[in-house]
Structure formats: C-alpha cells, structure tokens
Chains A and B, each alone.
Chain A
Amino acid sequence: MKKKIITFTALALMLSNQSEARDQIQIVGSSTVYPFATVVAERFGKTSGFKTPVIESTGSGGGLKLFCKGLGTQHPDITNASRRIKMKEVKNCEKNGVKDITEIKIGYDGIAIANAKSGPTFDLTLRDLYLALAKEIPADAEGGEVKANPYKMWNEINPKLPAKPIVVIGPPPTSGTRDAFNELAIEKGCKTFPGRSALKKKDKKLYKSQCRALREDGLYVEAGENDNLIIEKLVANPDALGVFGYSFLDQNKDKVKASKVDNVFPEFEAISSGEYPVSRSLFFYVKNAHASVIPGVKQYVREFTSSKSIGNEGYLVSKGLIPLPKSERAKFEKDGKTLAKFDEKLLKK
C-alpha cells in the first residue's frame, strides 16, 4: 500500500512539472513531406546537438488544423504541407493567436498516375482524367450544362484508352495530394470545355464545386494517408490506377509504372521544368512565436533550407525531392534565416 502511495505521489509530482518548456521540436503535417522532413530531422539530431524533432504524419489539412490551434508548448511548432496554406486556414490561425508564421517552399513533387507493371500503359490527357473522375461532367461538347458521370470504362471516354473498367485509388480529402490533384488535374481538364470556363466568370463558387468534386459512386477509391497501401492495392489489382507522389513512384519502380499525362511521363526533368502538368510545390510553415522558446527551431529551419539538403545536389534530392530553381531557393533560405512574416496578401482569393 505504501509503495502505491509513493508511486502516485511521484506521478503527481511529474504532472505538476508540466508547465516547463519543451526541449524538442514538434512537427505535424503532410504525408508527402514526411519522408523528407524525417531525413532532415534525423541529420539535424545527429549533427546539431539538439534533440531530434518529433514528426507526425497527419496530412496537410490535419497538420494545419493542429498548427493553428494556438500558441504554447502543447501545440506543434512546424507543419508540413503539400499545398499552400488557404485563406480560411490563415484566418483560423489568426483567430487563435498564431499571427506570425513563416512560409518555406522546399521543392516540387509530381503527382504520378500509375498502375501495376502487368497492366497496360495508359496515355492520358487531363481531359480524360476529368471525364473519368469528376462527379458531374458536361452534358455536351460545349459544356454549359452538367450531368452525373455515366462512364464505367476507359474506352468509353477515349477510344484510344484500354477497354478496362475505371478504378482509381487515391488519397482522401484531408490530403494535400488530393487537393493538388483536384486542382491541377481535374480542374484543368474541366477547363478544356469552353462552357465551364465561361461559368468561372459567372459563378465562381459553382464552377469550383463542379470542376473539383470527385465522383462518389465507388470508382474513385479513397485509400487513406498511406501511399504504400495504394501501391500494394495496385499490384493486387492490375486494372486499377493509383494517384500518389513521385517519390513513391521512384522507390517502387519494380512494382508500378507511370502513365503519360498530356504526353509526358512524370520524370525528374519533366517535373522540375514544369513540363509535367500535375506537379505541385511542397511547403512547411513555422510558428515564429515558438522559435525563441523551443530550442533548435531556427537551426532546424536553417538545415532544411540549406543547399546541402534541398539544393541541386542535396541529400533530399536523392530521396526523390525535385529541387527549386537556385534564385527561389536563395529567397526561402533568407526567409528562413530571418523568419520573415508570411504575407497573406500573396494568397489568391
């Protein structure tokens, strides 16, 4: 009995020490940036003398939600994102007192549309992707009116495509990859219809909801924040296509092959030159109020923005990151050093 009392007192004492500052950086966010951030964190922990940061893979949306919850040691210091912060999220941050943040762009990532090696090679256009995956598609070639998506087979959309059922496995809505895919592939495919572009000028909200919504009749399968799972499902089902980041394609070339999108394969050069149409930027956001409280935040940001990590010859490039042009990287290196405040006016409304 005495022992129990002692243990409980010890526990109570430990709990009461809780208000002390944390000495370990906490990072949340995108599962696409996660494999890069973990490499930086590990190097940082080995060489800097600070503790190795803790990184959770929560998805870009989930990460920004946690990040914007407030100031204080129980909230994360940095969030990774595979898309830019949204106006709504900036507002949410400000409401909770997180007013001073720094935006760092670390590089590019292509979104690959791939299938199992045993399946046929797809030669897709953005328009094909839109017609295959959108919830509602134009009723005629003009595209003024919409109807529910009737397509079940690829060759119904484009006779050049294989006569296979449409099954696409991809990330859920909390994922930055999904946001980017909707915006870069589906919406661009949607715009190829003149009637849709006309709608953009008339009713932007309706246009966005119609041009970005994916079908919900089971042909687009949500696979969770786990790109390895998508690859395994592709191997198990040679008819299915999968949507995931370039770095996972690079690591799994023995299992899956990429489809051409608008005549371009997702390859290193094509993505960095912008020739491959479905590529997006990767970011992380720093809570500047924490930089002076949590030891190592500034040094971590410096490590992540240095040329030895994200430069052309950097160690993240060998992990599949596609580097920024030199001048752009220099700008973000400077932003990282000074922790320049993010200007929300840069965001498009």
Chain B
Amino acid sequence: MTNNLDRVELSLVGRKRSERLFKFYGFLGILIAFLFLITILYSVISQGQKAFFTTFIKVNIFFDSEIIDPQNQRNDEDIRYANFNKIITESLKKKFPENLNKNDSKELSSFISSSEADYLSGFVVKNKDYIGKYKNMWLLASSKIDVIVKNPEMEDLDEEDRLISDKQLGWLNQIRLNKELKKELNKNFFTKADSTEPEQAGIWGSLVGSFLTLLITLVLSFPVAVAAGVFLEELAPKNKFTEFLEVNINNLAAVPSIIYGLLGLAIFLNIMHLPRSAPIVGGMVLALMTLPTIIIATRSSLKSVPPSIREAAIGLGATRFQSVVDHVLPLAIPGIMTGTIIGMSRALGESAPLLMIGMVAFIVDVPTTFLDSSTALPVQIYLWKSTAARGFVELTAAGVIVLLVFLILMNGLAVFIRQKFEKKW
C-alpha cells in the first residue's frame, strides 16, 4: 500500500509541473495573439488618425475683376468659366515678395488642392460683391503639402527623395511662421467618394455602398434563411433527403467566398443581365454567402428551446405550425438575431466576391440607389492601398479604422441582444 501512495506522491510533482506548463503555454498563446492585436491596432491607428485632419493654408484672395469678369457683366456662366487657378496663384505669389519665374509660380500653385478653384468659382457666383475685393480665406492644401506637414521627419530627407523641392519647403516654413497654416477636420473624408487626389478622397461613397449592399443581403437572406431553418428543424420529416440537405448546408457555410462571386458573375450578370458594379448584385451574392450561416444559427437556437414548450402548446390543441410560430420562434429570435448580425458583419468585411461582379472599381459619385455603381468599405481600402500617390497611405489606415468601428458596433449589438433577450433555461 505504502508503495502505491509513494508512487502517487512522487508523480505529483511531475503532474503539477505539466499542469503549470500547460497553463504557461496557454498564457503564452494569448499573450502572442494580444501582442499581434496591439501591433495591428497601433500601426493602423497611428497612421489612420492623421487622415482625419487635413491642412489648410490661409490666402488673402484677390478676386481680380480683370480675370473673373473683364466685361463687367456679372454673368453667372462667364464667372463660372473664369480661370480661378490663376486667381489662387496670383494671390499666393503676394505672400512672397521675391521675383518668381514661371516655373516657380507653377511650383507655388501646387500648394493648393485642385478642388479649390471650383470652390472659389461657386463662392463668387453666390457673392458677386467680392469681385474686385480682397478676402482672407482658408484653402485646402494639396496632398503633398499635407503629407509633409503631417510627417515632419520627411523634411530631413534629400530633395530628390522628398515630395517637395527645397524651394517649396522654404515657402512652407515661411507660411508656417506667419501662422497661415492650420489643421482641421477632414470633411472630404467623411462626405466624398473616391478621387485620384488624396486630399479630395473620402470614405462616404463606399460606406453608402456597403450599407445598400448589406440592406439587400439582409432583406434577401434573413426571411429565406429563417424559413429554411424552421422547416428543417421543426417541420421536416427526418429522412435521407433532409439529411442530405443538412450536410450540404453545412458544407456551403465553409465554401470560399470567391466561389459565390463566380456564381454571381455567371448568373446575375451573364444570364439575368443585371448591371455591373451595382449594390443589388453585391447584395445578392453576399446573401447567398450569408444564407447558410443564418440557417445554422436559426437551427441551433431553435434546438436550445426546451421541448416542453412545444409539448405544452400541442397538448393544449395547437397545431405544430402554431406551436412553432407562436411559441418556439419568439423564444429563439435573440439567438437568430445574433447569428444574423454575425453573418452580416462577415459580409461587411468581404471583398473577394465583389471583385468578380465589378464592385472593385474607381467610383467618384456617391451611390443613391441600388442600381448605381458603387464600391464597398473593404474594397475602397484595397483600392487606396494599391494607389501610387503617397497621401493614400494614411487614408488606407483611416479606412481600416472606419471598417473596424462598424464591425465592433455590429458585434457589440449582437452581444447586447444576446445578453438582454436570451432566456436561460
């Protein structure tokens, strides 16, 4: 006897050690995952937060009547076509008294975003009194100036490696000394769609595109998936055929998403002739992808409703359909909703199937209907990532932040619904 006890005693040290080791490995695993998460979040946020602000330059604009309206007719159409780029360049030149040659003024005019000429022409059409007068205005800086202002370490690079020349850097420092430089909220980022100029590009267009796409996905997949889930779980007879269906649904949930894109291309575009790049097609493709996820969620939350509920309803004379619709389904709804939201947030992050149906495209107009061309959030991030201009680096990270915020919001909603409404038995 003592012999056995001794053996147990002796092995205890080893067993305890392996438990500690197991704990340690588990902890190490979590630590590594956490470190990766921190690294990703840090790099994304430290880059991305720069894009939420943009640089403005104060210019005392002279609305030269010679350029805007030489005939003094105050005609809207003529004013609109006046050369406002020249007005900006001439007004900028006044900041620097030294003589500037033609090349210099070209370099100087590249300080201001190309969108500002349109802005000024719109301003003058509305306020004709300013023609011939001066006005101090904050104009949007071009992206390369913005990048230099946001990344001061670039000033130390050699001239050829920097985005701007030594001369331009000198002007920039002078503007900064005169306190004619400010950073403000980047409104374009939150209100515009894609652009080739980083300072004029925004996330709004793709956000609307994602919203329209997900709306279609929800409207198509939710009712179908819930009906299918209820049928399979509650009403269908258990036989070879329903078993076959079940296996297939579980398999579909694991099919790579690009396959659904190919299906969409073949059926929705080539056979049904729906328009390319439209949210309606994107929504249909993503609905196919989300269906199995919601069906599985529906079935498992129906399963967790205790049989006593069904038996009681049937015992009181309800039909099986009544017992399901009036008693079982309402109890399962929180679980179904959670599954749906998780399926939706997966669809929000999806870009591969959209590639096949033309939603990975350069689109400047913000979509307003389900048939307009549009992109989606992850697609916009990908497009910005593959653009050459330097200013898009920060926009890409900012796009990732916006996508992450929406994913966290949706998953938070799922957690909230589960905790608030789910019944514990």
The stretch among B16-24, B90-98, B270-278, B397-405 that forms the contact with chain A is B270-278
The answer to whether A226 and B386 have CB atoms under 8 Å apart is: yes
Task: Say yes or no: is A14 at the interface (Cβ < 8 Å to chain B).
Answer: yes
The answer to whether B275 and A22 have CB atoms under 8 Å apart is: yes
Provide the residues of chain B in CB contact with A247, threshold 8 Å. Answer: 388
The stretch among B65-73, B358-366, B410-418 that forms the contact with chain A is B358-366
The answer to whether A55 and B274 have CB atoms under 8 Å apart is: no
Interface string of A55-91 (1 = CB under 8 A from B): 1110000000000000011101000000000000000
Task: Say yes or no: is B118 at the interface (Cβ < 8 Å to chain A).
Answer: yes
The stretch among B155-163, B173-181, B232-240, B249-257 that forms the contact with chain A is B155-163
Task: Say yes or no: is A337 at the interface (Cβ < 8 Å to chain B).
Answer: no
A73, B278: Cα distance in complex, Å: 13
A79, B358: Cα distance in complex, Å: 14
The answer to whether B364 and A45 have CB atoms under 8 Å apart is: yes
Which residue of chain A has its CB nearest to the CB of B157? Answer: A254
The answer to whether A35 and B196 have CB atoms under 8 Å apart is: yes
Provide the residues of chain B in CB contact with A11, threshold 8 Å. Answer: 216, 219, 280, 370
Q: A324 to chain B: closest CB distance in Å?
A: 21
Q: A110 to chain B: closest CB distance in Å?
A: 15
Q: A64 to chain B: closest CB distance in Å?
A: 16
Interface string of A24-54 (1 = CB under 8 A from B): 1010000100110111011001100001101
The answer to whether B161 and A254 have CB atoms under 8 Å apart is: yes
Q: A337 to chain B: closest CB distance in Å?
A: 22
Partner of A42, one of B195, B269, B280: B195
Interface string of B272-291 (1 = CB under 8 A from A): 01111100100000000000
Task: Say yes or no: is B371 at the interface (Cβ < 8 Å to chain A).
Answer: yes
The answer to whether A4 and B223 have CB atoms under 8 Å apart is: yes
11 contacts between A and B (CB under 8 A): A11-B219, A18-B275, A18-B371, A42-B195, A52-B364, A52-B365, A74-B273, A229-B386, A251-B390, A252-B388, A253-B160
A39, B200: Cα distance in complex, Å: 12
The answer to whether A42 and B276 have CB atoms under 8 Å apart is: no
Q: B358 to chain A: closest CB distance in Å?
A: 6
The answer to whether A227 and B371 have CB atoms under 8 Å apart is: no
Main secondary structure of the interface of B (DSSP, over half): loop
A320, B219: Cα distance in complex, Å: 46
The answer to whether A56 and B275 have CB atoms under 8 Å apart is: no
User: Which of B216, B223, B364, B365: most chain A Cβ within 10 A?
Assistant: B364
Provide the residues of chain B in CB contact with A248, threshold 8 Å. Answer: 388
Interface string of B18-46 (1 = CB under 8 A from A): 00000000000000000000000000000
Provide the residues of chain B in CB contact with A54, threshold 8 Å. Answer: 276-277, 358, 361-363, 373
The answer to whether B276 and A26 have CB atoms under 8 Å apart is: yes
Task: Say yes or no: is B248 at the interface (Cβ < 8 Å to chain A).
Answer: no
The answer to whether B363 and A52 have CB atoms under 8 Å apart is: yes
Top 10 A-B pairs, shortest CB-CB distance: A52-B364, A251-B388, A254-B161, A55-B362, A56-B361, A54-B373, A38-B362, A226-B386, A39-B196, A38-B196
Task: Say yes or no: is B387 at the interface (Cβ < 8 Å to chain A).
Answer: yes
Provide the residues of chain B in CB contact with A74, threshold 8 Å. Answer: 269-270, 273-276
Q: B258 to chain A: closest CB distance in Å?
A: 14
Task: Say yes or no: is A15 at the interface (Cβ < 8 Å to chain B).
Answer: yes
Q: A259 to chain B: closest CB distance in Å?
A: 17
Other contacts beyond A35-B387, A320-B388: 6, CB < 8 A: A14-B369, A14-B370, A18-B273, A46-B118, A52-B364, A251-B389
Q: B84 to chain A: closest CB distance in Å?
A: 13
Task: Say yes or no: is B385 at the interface (Cβ < 8 Å to chain A).
Answer: yes
Q: B144 to chain A: closest CB distance in Å?
A: 11
The answer to whether B388 and A35 have CB atoms under 8 Å apart is: yes
Task: Say yes or no: is A7 at the interface (Cβ < 8 Å to chain B).
Answer: yes
A14, B386: Cα distance in complex, Å: 34
Partner of B386, one of A39, A73, A228: A228
Partner of A253, one of B161, B358, B365: B161
Interface string of B362-380 (1 = CB under 8 A from A): 1111000111010000000
Q: A55 to chain B: closest CB distance in Å?
A: 4
A24, B361: Cα distance in complex, Å: 13
Which residue of chain A has its CB nearest to the CB of B364? Answer: A52
The answer to whether A73 and B275 have CB atoms under 8 Å apart is: yes
The answer to whether A41 and B386 have CB atoms under 8 Å apart is: no
Interface string of B300-340 (1 = CB under 8 A from A): 00000000000000000000000000000000000000000
A228, B275: Cα distance in complex, Å: 30
**Known contacts being A54-B277, A227-B388, is A7 close to B219, with CB within 8 Å?**
yes
Which residue of chain A has its CB nearest to the CB of B388? Answer: A251
The answer to whether A227 and B386 have CB atoms under 8 Å apart is: yes
Interface string of A209-231 (1 = CB under 8 A from B): 00000000000000000111100
Provide the residues of chain A in CB contact with B161, threshold 8 Å. Answer: 253-254
A46, B365: Cα distance in complex, Å: 10
Provide the residues of chain A in CB contact with B386, threshold 8 Å. Answer: 31, 57, 226-229
The answer to whether A15 and B389 have CB atoms under 8 Å apart is: no
A14, B276: Cα distance in complex, Å: 15
The answer to whether A41 and B388 have CB atoms under 8 Å apart is: no
Which residue of chain B has its CB nearest to the CB of A315? Answer: B114
Provide the residues of chain B in CB contact with A41, threshold 8 Å. Answer: 362, 364
Which residue of chain B has its CB nearest to the CB of A22? Answer: B275
A146, B144: Cα distance in complex, Å: 51
Q: B272 to chain A: closest CB distance in Å?
A: 8
Provide the residues of chain A in CB contact with B197, threshold 8 Å. Answer: 42
Provide the residues of chain A in CB contact with B269, threshold 8 Å. Answer: 74
**Known contacts being A22-B275, A74-B273, A74-B275, is A42 close to B387, with CB within 8 Å?**
no
User: Which of A24, A54, A227, A252: most chain B Cβ within 10 A?
Assistant: A54
Within 8 A of B (CB), among A224-240: 226-229
Q: B121 to chain A: closest CB distance in Å?
A: 12
